[in-house]
Amino acid sequence: MKLTVMRALSLAGVLVLTGCLETMPGPDRPHRPRPEKPAICTREYAPVCAQKRRHRQTFSNACMARAEGFRVVSSGACERGGQ
């Protein structure tokens, strides 16, 4: 019983150390910067009209618009003439 527990703990320790080594940057694995804004949004439906440069687009919510680099200009869908 003790031998089985020791083997399981040893295997778990090796797996943990291997996982740590894989995620560390090194000379062959450069550090990648994290994105400034997370792109994980809820799926709630609260439409907004957003703009990027001169292009307007309707998004299902403000988070989705910001994740695509748009700036929210009004709540609700965009008008047909402004798209």
pLDDT tens per residue across span 41-81: 989 999 999 999 999 999 999 999 999 999 999 999 999 76
* Total domains, the chain: 1
Q: Please tell me what DSSP assigns to residue 82.
A: G
What one-character-per-residue DSSP string does 14-43 give?
A: HHHHHHHHHHS-BTTB---PPPSS------
Domain membership of residue 14 (yes or no) is yes
- Residue 55: give its domain's CATH number: 3.30.60.30
Domain of residue 16: give its range. Answer: 2-26+41-82
What is the percentage of the chain residues whose pLDDT exceeds 70? 65
The reported pTM is 0.52
